[in-house]
Chains A and B, each alone.
Chain A
Amino acid sequence: MTDMRVDLAGIKLKNPVITASGTFGFGREYAKFYDLSKLGGIVVKGLTLEPREGNKPPRIAETPAGMLNSVGLQNPGVKYFIEKELPFLRRYDVAVIANIAGNTVEEYCEMAELLGSLVDGIELNISCPNVKEGGVAFGTKCDSVHNITKSVKDHCKVPLIVKLSPNVTDIKEIAVAAEEGGADAISLINTLLGMAIDINTRKPVLANTVGGLSGPAVKPVAVRMIWQAAQVVSIPIIGMGGISCFQDAVEFILAGADAVAIGTANFVNPYAPLEILEGIKDYLIKNKFDNINELKGNIKK
């Protein structure tokens, strides 16, 4: 039996396949397709302290092998999540990670307090490119990454994952800042800031003008950044960014990821996470690995 279990800084995953925040709602939609207990973990839609309406539509533009989105953190607020959505997710045997975004450090801390140990982990969203307050201001400078991580960590009863923005000059120094600030793990990459223009109307396609690029188009950037981050931190890494098949997932783990998150691929194929999980298992068997953890960073020079 191949051991697929991953210990993500204390978050026990039965396998390394997680669903990425913002692509999986609060799980209900995909529960109609399969048993969510088959997943290693679920990172829920980004939560804010108060409900948010999100950005004006259009919020999506299809681009070559990818898509831009500018949802703008539409969500019912952290309290609604705890009362109405979390009990549903808790019916499944799956790690639940809450993604949180705030306007101020205090808001992040308050959300961490409210979530307490009701979830298995908290993912700090300091990299949403679509709202002014969505944290990107916190996520692109080392000292602010360090400070917010340190502050929220003090209020966190569960492992704290810091989600990094790829829209930075040097991902290594940001990863180190998160680790030194007390992050238990990091996840990367969030979407890349992009833009599309309709040449017939000569207007930006997105009402928000710019949005976050995701999908297979961003994959090589993600692999590179995970590899770079893995060279400089010793905390676990959740790798994501354009994974659409098991080969992609294996590539991310080889680059240094402990677990992988599936995002945009959910939109194309609701069964993508399960197919990827089966593919990873077969790969391990074929290549004679007994344990998924042996694969991490296992690239030849």
Chain B
Amino acid sequence: MVGVEKAVRSICKVVENKGLTQNIYEIVIECPEIAEVAKPGQFLHIKTNKGLDPLLRRPISISRVYRDKGCMSMIYQAIGRGTKEMSDLRPGEEIDVMGPLGNGFPVFHGKKCAVAGGGMGVAPLLELASSIDSCDAYLGFKSSTFKLADFKSVCNELFVATEDGSAGSKGYVTDIIKGIAKYDIVYTCGPKLMMKKVKELCESNLVQCYVSIEERMGCGIGACLVCACRIKEGDAWHYKKACTDGPVFEAGEVDFND
């Protein structure tokens, strides 16, 4: 009767759930309905348990979409109760998924692009990099790395930095971004300080930059207003919703000092 778009909540099957390094895992779930329409930079809102505790869903970004198989993968860190329970899920078990949620990265063709990711922030950049025809990747980690081979296979060039120097250059991802002016667009996701620095690098080199921000979420669909982030609108700043107005924003709109 009323013309509104549809949203999906689905009970999906776990296809694979494996450790990548330390407490970082990759889960592959089967959900053709969502995989069909999912875009890079969007996220899924996951309920791992059936009980009331932990209560809330966990927003996790989509790291790969396998449209032909109707599957998607997510990379997550098992740090809280919800994600720890998620790491115990075995193939064949069920998982409650809402999605795809949020606005993804705008994808441009025929442009020279780079992705700059830090830690868990590399996850959504993988699907993005695979959707762009010309893309370099700059990835930073604390110590152990993950998904480097996957990035290598979808990117022109891959540059890696680790804080302890155990892989790639010793230092931060922002130390290894060379000749940023040669890019038309840089996409970044990771710790706030890193994204702030990437944003500043892009601004001083007149490179277009998109950031994917992270905020604690409630509903994930724009109703509860807990995931507020300060975003520039015209000359004024307003609290916008990371879940539905974002999580991807044009870097110039985001106030990282809040």
Contacts of B4 in A (CB 8 A): 28, 31-32
Contacts of A59 in B (CB 8 A): 216, 225-228
Cβ B219 vs Cβ A266 within 8 A: yes
Cβ B216 vs Cβ A57 within 8 A: yes
A74 located at the interface, meaning its Cβ lies under 8 Å from any Cβ of chain B in the complex = yes
Interface residues of A in 145-191 (CB under 8 A from B): none
Question: How many Å lie between the Cα of A45 and that of B53 in the bound state?
Answer: 26
B218 located at the interface, meaning its Cβ lies under 8 Å from any Cβ of chain A in the complex = yes
Question: How many Å lie between the Cα of A215 and that of B222 in the bound state?
Answer: 19
Question: How many Å lie between the Cα of A92 and that of B238 in the bound state?
Answer: 30
Binary B-proximity of A1-43 (CB < 8 A = 1, otherwise 0): 0000000000000000000001111001111110111000000
Cβ A69 vs Cβ B223 within 8 A: no
Of the residues B1, B215, B222, contact of A58 by C-beta under 8 Å: B215
Cβ A57 vs Cβ B52 within 8 A: no
Cβ A69 vs Cβ B238 within 8 A: no
B7 located at the interface, meaning its Cβ lies under 8 Å from any Cβ of chain A in the complex = yes
Of the residues B55, B222, B227, B228, contact of A67 by C-beta under 8 Å: B55
Question: How many Å lie between the Cα of A62 and that of B49 in the bound state?
Answer: 15
Binary B-proximity of A119-140 (CB < 8 A = 1, otherwise 0): 0000000000000000000000
Interface residues of B in 191-234 (CB under 8 A from A): 215-229
Question: How many Å lie between the Cα of A66 and that of B56 in the bound state?
Answer: 8
> Smallest CB-CB separation from A71: which chain B residue?
B225
Cβ B219 vs Cβ A91 within 8 A: no
The listed residue with most A CB atoms (<10 A of its CB), out of B6, B47, B221, is B221
Contacts of B226 in A (CB 8 A): 57-60, 69, 71
Question: How many Å lie between the Cα of A32 and that of B6 in the bound state?
Answer: 4
A299 located at the interface, meaning its Cβ lies under 8 Å from any Cβ of chain B in the complex = no
B64 located at the interface, meaning its Cβ lies under 8 Å from any Cβ of chain A in the complex = no
| Tally of contact residues, B, Cβ under 8 A | 34
Interface residues of A in 69-124 (CB under 8 A from B): 69, 71, 74, 91-92
Contacts of A92 in B (CB 8 A): 2
| Tally of contact residues, A, Cβ under 8 A | 43
- Within the complex, what minimum Cβ distance (angstroms) separates B85 from chain A? 13
Interface residues of A in 242-281 (CB under 8 A from B): 244, 264, 266-271
Contacts of B1 in A (CB 8 A): 35, 37, 91
Contacts of B221 in A (CB 8 A): 29-30, 32, 270
Cβ B7 vs Cβ A267 within 8 A: no
A216 located at the interface, meaning its Cβ lies under 8 Å from any Cβ of chain B in the complex = yes
Of the residues A54, A264, A271, contact of B55 by C-beta under 8 Å: A264
Contacts of A60 in B (CB 8 A): 216-218, 224, 226-227
- With A67-B55, A69-B218 known as contacts, the answer to whether A54 contacts B228 (CB < 8 A) is yes
B57 located at the interface, meaning its Cβ lies under 8 Å from any Cβ of chain A in the complex = yes
Binary B-proximity of A43-63 (CB < 8 A = 1, otherwise 0): 001000000011111111110
> Smallest CB-CB separation from A53: which chain B residue?
B239
B147 located at the interface, meaning its Cβ lies under 8 Å from any Cβ of chain A in the complex = no
- With A215-B55, A270-B7 known as contacts, the answer to whether A57 contacts B222 (CB < 8 A) is no
- Within the complex, what minimum Cβ distance (angstroms) separates A262 from chain B? 12
Cβ A32 vs Cβ B55 within 8 A: no
- Within the complex, what minimum Cβ distance (angstroms) separates A199 from chain B? 14
Cβ B52 vs Cβ A270 within 8 A: no
Question: How many Å lie between the Cα of A59 and that of B127 in the bound state?
Answer: 30
Cβ A33 vs Cβ B7 within 8 A: yes
Question: How many Å lie between the Cα of A35 and that of B9 in the bound state?
Answer: 15
Cβ B225 vs Cβ A54 within 8 A: yes
Q: List 26 A-B contacts (CB under 8 A).
A: A23-B224, A29-B221, A29-B244, A30-B221, A30-B223, A32-B4, A32-B6, A33-B7, A35-B2, A45-B225, A53-B238, A54-B225, A57-B215, A59-B216, A62-B54, A62-B55, A67-B218, A69-B218, A91-B1, A266-B219, A267-B219, A268-B55, A268-B56, A269-B9, A269-B47, A270-B221
Additional pairs, 15, CB under 8 Å, beyond known A53-B238, A59-B227, A67-B56: A22-B224, A23-B219, A23-B224, A29-B222, A31-B2, A33-B9, A57-B216, A57-B228, A57-B258, A60-B226, A65-B55, A67-B218, A69-B224, A71-B224, A268-B55
